[in-house]
Amino acid sequence: MHPAAANPIHRLLDEVYAEVQDLDDGEVATYIPELAKADPSICGLAVATLDGDVYTAGDLVPFTIQSVSKPFIYALALADSGPEAVLAKVGAEPTGDPFNTISLDDLTSRAHNPMVNAGAIVTTTMVAGATREEQFERLLSGLSAFAGRPLTVDESVFESESATGHRNRAIAYLMRSAGLLDEDVEQQIANYFRQCSVVVTARDLAVMTATLANAGVNPLTGVEVIPRDVVASVLTVMATCGMYDYSGEWLYRVGLPAKSGVSGAVGAVLPGQLGLAAHSPRLDPQGNSVRGVAACERISERLGLHLLLPGERVRSSLRRTYRADTVRSRRLRSQAQRGVLDAHGAEIVAYELGGDEGFAAVEPLVRIVLEDDKARWVVIDMRRVTRIDRAALALLDGLISQLTIDGGVVGIVEPRSQGARVAVRELAPRCPRFSDADGALEWAETQLLHEHGLDDALPEELVPLAEQDLLRGLPEEIVTAIETRIVTKVFHAGTVVFEEGDESDGLYFVGAGQVAADVRLGGRGGRRRLSTIASGSSFGELALVDGRPRSTRIVAIEPTICFVLSPEAFSELWDASPEACASLAMAIARSLSERLRYSTADVASLEQV
Ligand code: GLU
């Protein structure tokens, strides 16, 4: 175990903490007498990750949250009252005026935005609660949920703020005159003062901003504090209005949505990655923490966190394209069926996607698929898709509709990843779904074969030995020599023909019905189907070649009739008719080598990635 300080994030925070110690310009806020008592030398830094790890440096002392409460309360108001109701009273326009300006947006008669006092006082009244007391409960429990622990109010700061907050009262009465607040202005403004007096540490603030970074879910507690769909609105007003009259330059230099407050706190959000917090009471002329801003600028600069830095170009997510003339499902097919698949398999095309799907990742696929006029069955294999956004869903939806209009048939292989699978379920609900590409290919092949009149044989039609794939074309005497040595076995649907590890009891020809071969998966358990084997095909050839225990399990999936040539019968045949044996051995070798060739083609097509 390395010491905590060995972690590069700790080291970075310690370095930045040491560097900003030298900055001692700026003044502690004094307009609220209690705040004037803050120790100006204090400086604390914290970074919280979305796994719930919190890295800190410096002094993690408690302080009142002040205006840093505003984005969190705005989030609660959006969650409780809905964006329409909130937007009707509070806009999203930066003011260019001080945070405590006594003004309304003249054009719209709304408060300019929720990050200035006018807007914040209004959003405080828009959280759930039948009374002002209940609303305060909601404000406090909401902030606590963001922090992941119960928070309290510093009553002396509240008293001090309430006793001197005449300007805020003036703002509140202006809001009242515009119909944005109710009659009980004093209770409403008291809730606002109380909300500003909630006590946090830099650590709490990092967890709170990490909750916004984590789409509204607290990374420590796992609690969904606000719905995901209000997060973008909160981050937008933080990005444009969160740092008083320094907001534009802050975004320019640091590039993260953030909010600061008069107690010297700054909280910033890197969506999907981290929450950042700094606390140091000396304020610059714009009202932002001198050391807090300097620390955030350095951290953003050194880690390249600016959100608007040029991103990596997003590449196509198409990993592999193949057609059923070269790559087939694992289902064994008769010779006639294979002939049709050789000739027409190119009409079945599978596109394998992988990774995160967005506009730029999916657009090339759309173009390629629509340019392909040979494809009639299209398999969209999304098994390896990890995420899928709205743009990608819209493009895929449009693509599938167009293919359907053009007479094509689309099968979807669902993503393994749960989130992506749920998103994909909304897509083209009528398209057949598969859990893997093999199932989808088998489905498409069966449809293609049906069009060519080559449906799989029905169980009652017995495929005689002479017409079995393995024996087709062998001289009649040889087939007869084999025929006299086989036994017929009948299996009900669902019965196990043999298990993995069973002693080999012979070569099986499927006369009617169908069986499936599967293997047990190591580690995770469960089974994986390798192939389905229909009438006319055979299985268990290896029994005659190496005589070792079975490597797969075989289960009858329909009522099935098999002709079985046991190893004893085979050696008897060896004595009686060496030519019959040699022909059979050659046929087995051909069948095995054919399977090997398909596996090779399958592997070769992986090279297209
Ligand atoms: N309670 C303070 C006020 O409204 C908050 C100010 C701030 O942090 O911006 O005056």
Residue 310 lies in a domain: no
CATH of the domain at 480: 2.60.120.10
Residue 317 known to be catalytic: no
Ligand 1 centroid to Cα of residue 578, in Å, is 99
Residue 308 lies in a domain: no
Checking if the pLDDT of 458 tops 70, the result is no
CATH of the domain at 87: 3.40.710.10
Amino acid in the structure at residue 608? Q
The model's pLDDT over 512-521, given as tens digits with 9 standing for 90+, comes to 888 999 888 7
Identify the domain containing residue 210 by its residue range: 4-302
Rounded Cα–Cα distance for residues 599 and 592 (Å): 11
What pairs with residue 270 in β-bridges?
A: 274
One domain for residues 402 and 444: yes
Rounded Cα–Cα distance for residues 333 and 558 (Å): 16
Pocket of ligand 1 (CB under 6 A): 66-67, 99-100, 117, 161, 168, 196, 261-262
State residue 296's pLDDT score: 98
Residue 601 lies in a domain: yes
Residue 309 lies in a domain: no
Looking up tokens 């005689």 gives 464
Average pLDDT of the segment spanning 63-91: 98
One domain for residues 356 and 286: no
Q: Is the pTM of this model over 0.85?
A: no
State residue 240's pLDDT score: 96
Residue bearing the bigger pLDDT, 73 or 331: 73
Residue 87 lies in a domain: yes
Checking if the pLDDT of 112 tops 80, the result is yes
Residue 545 CB coordination number (10 Å):
13
One domain for residues 483 and 598: yes
Average pLDDT of the segment spanning 446-460: 77
State residue 380's pLDDT score: 97
One domain for residues 290 and 389: no
Amino acid in the structure at residue 4? A
CATH of the domain at 400: 3.30.750.24
Segment among 31-45, 228-242, 372-386, 567-581 with least mean pLDDT? 567-581
Task: Answer for the pair 246, 234: CB distance below 8 angstroms, yes or no.
Answer: no
One domain for residues 112 and 169: yes
| Mutational test site, ligand 1, from 65, 95, 99, max ligand atoms within 8 Å of CB | 99
One domain for residues 482 and 578: yes
The model's pLDDT over 284-337, given as tens digits with 9 standing for 90+, comes to 999 999 999 999 999 999 999 999 999 889 899 999 999 999 999 887 788 899
Residue 34 lies in a domain: yes
One domain for residues 298 and 406: no
State residue 591's pLDDT score: 83
One domain for residues 409 and 516: no
Token code pair at residue 609: 């990635």
Of these residues, 55, 74, 192, 508, which one is catalytic?
A: 192
The secondary structure element, H or E, covering residue 518 is: strand 514-520
Amino acid in the structure at residue 605? S
Average pLDDT of the segment spanning 273-286: 97
Checking if the pLDDT of 235 tops 70, the result is yes
Number of separate domains in the chain: 3
Residue 307 lies in a domain: no
One domain for residues 325 and 470: no
Residue 94 lies in a domain: yes
One domain for residues 220 and 289: yes
pLDDT band at 194 (very low <50, low <70, confident <90, very high): very high
State residue 609's pLDDT score: 44
Checking if the pLDDT of 445 tops 90, the result is yes
Write the CA distances from 61 to 39, 268, 280, 464, integer angstroms.
10, 19, 10, 87
One domain for residues 539 and 440: no
The fraction of the chain above a pLDDT of 90, given in percent, is: 65
Question: Closest ligand 1 atom to the C-alpha of 66?
Answer: 8
Ligand 1 centroid to Cα of residue 223, in Å, is 28
Rounded Cα–Cα distance for residues 360 and 351 (Å): 16
